[in-house]
Amino acid sequence: GKKRMKMVGRVEVPQEAFVAALSTSDAPKK
């Protein structure tokens, strides 16, 4: 899962989508 997150972060994706994906996939670490 972490590897996929890194890939998503590398890809040009809006931060909002990234945060939303993280929240949906797993509660944020922060």
**pLDDT tens, residue by residue, 3-30:** 766 666 566 667 787 788 777 766 556 5
pTM of the model: 0.32
Q: How far apart are CA 28 and CA 20, in angstroms?
A: 10
SS3 10: helix
Q: How far apart are CA 8 and CA 17, in angstroms?
A: 10
**Residue 11, amino acid:** V
Residue 14: the pLDDT is: 72
Q: How far apart are CA 12 and CA 30, in angstroms?
A: 23
